[in-house]
Amino acid sequence: MISQGDFSKLLTEGPYAYSRHPFYLTLIINQLSIPLLLTSWAGLLTYAVLLPG
C-alpha cells in the first residue's frame, strides 16, 4: 500500500501559490523571451493578450 504522507495537501504558499508546477513557469518565461529576443512588438502584444486567458 502506498502512503500519501504530505502529498495529500494542496500547497498554496511559496512559488506554488503562483504556479502548480515549475515547468509551467519555465514555459511562460520561455515564451516571453522569444519576442523579447527578436524585438517583436506584435509578438509581445499577442503574448500580453493571450497570457491571462
Q: What pLDDT score does 3 carry?
A: 63
Q: How many domains does the chain have?
A: 1
The C-alpha cell that represents 37 in the structure block: 529576443
Residue 2 lies in a domain: no
Encode the chain (53 residues) as per-residue pLDDT tens digits.
566 666 677 777 877 777 778 788 888 888 888 888 888 888 888 888 887 76
Residue 8 within any structural domain of the chain? no
Query: What is residue 23's predicted lDDT score, i.e. its pLDDT?
Result: 86
What pLDDT score was predicted for residue 13? 81
Would you say residue 47 lies in a domain? yes
Question: Do residues 48 and 31 touch, judged by C-beta distance below 8 A?
Answer: no
Distances (CA, A) of 26 to 11, 16, 29, 32: 19, 13, 5, 10
- Whether residue 36 lies inside any domain: the answer is yes
What is the spatial distance between Cα 15 and Cα 35, in angstroms, rounded to a whole number?
A: 25
Contact between 44 and 36 (Cβ < 8 Å): yes
